[in-house]
Amino acid sequence: MKQGTLLLLFMLGFSQLHFGQGLNSLTKKEKKKGWELLFDGETTKGWHTFRQSAPGEAWKARDGMLYLDVSQMRGRGDIVTDREFGDFHLVFEWMIGAKANSGIIFMVQERASDRATWHTGPEYQLIDNINYPAKLDPRQMSASLYDLIACPVELVKPAGEWNTGAIKLEKGNLKLYVNGKLAVSTKLWDENWDRLVAGSKFIKEKDFAKFPRGKIAIQDHGGAVWMRNIKIKSL
């Protein structure tokens, strides 16, 4: 990404944060209902690089955003939560850079045999639908369940604009939301799910989505991504 584009995105993010209210915080009502912050708005506390002990230096917290500094070549890789979650409701705000690709991957395992976050975890896709340099299948568009179920493209705001997202997993029922709209709805581990996986790249991953508990990851796919207001509630 060109430096000018990166600066423009930072300015956009800062301006929205400056005029926003309650960013990276919980109301008394949210706390009472069991919501927790996964990002405190100031540090990368609670996260680490996949299969490492701490977050890489390319992941930074600034101006109320958790973001991947693509100018930083060292300390790259997906970051994952220190904690595991079973059934959960996750909400977040996200902004993708021009031509960039990322994602929220969940149910992630970190055993010695696990080579990548996406080998065990399904992905809420984050990508520049319009300008990504490769041709995209509908199932690879933003807010899709990556390579499994497509999200309607009209629900997603373009690169450089903030979107809201949510993932709700409860008793095998999985729902993905974007900008307040239901993007994907499916049930894990039934015959239809098996057919979806069989028709995807994940057919080669024997442990894909097999574990009811796991960690949550933000993908480093080489492009710029910004996150804020990351909140979770165990169900």
For residue 13, give the 3-state DSSP assignment: helix
CB 205 within 8 A of CB 121: no
220 Cβ neighbours under 8 A, 6+ residues apart: 58, 59, 68, 76, 77, 78, 79, 102
Residue 80 and residue 122: Cα distance in Å, rounded?
14
Query: For residue 22, what pLDDT is reported?
Result: 79
* Domain extents in the chain: 3-234
Residue (of 199, 156, 201) closest to 177 by Cα position: 156
Q: What does the pLDDT average to over 172-199? A: 98
Q: What does the pLDDT average to over 89-96? A: 98
Query: For residue 106, what pLDDT is reported?
Result: 98
For residue 30, give the 3-state DSSP assignment: helix
Per-residue pLDDT reduced to its tens digit, 4-36: 444 444 444 443 444 345 799 999 999 999 999
- Select from 3.50.50.60, 2.60.120.560, 2.60.40.1930, 3.40.50.620 the CATH code of 3-234: 2.60.120.560
Q: What does the pLDDT average to over 39-64? A: 97
The label of the residue with tokens 């199932």 reads: 139
Residue 103 and residue 5: Cα distance in Å, rounded?
21
State yes or no: pLDDT of 227 exceeds 50: yes
- Band (pLDDT 50/70/90 cuts) for residue 1 is very low
212 Cβ neighbours under 8 A, 6+ residues apart: 86, 87, 107
CB 232 within 8 A of CB 81: no
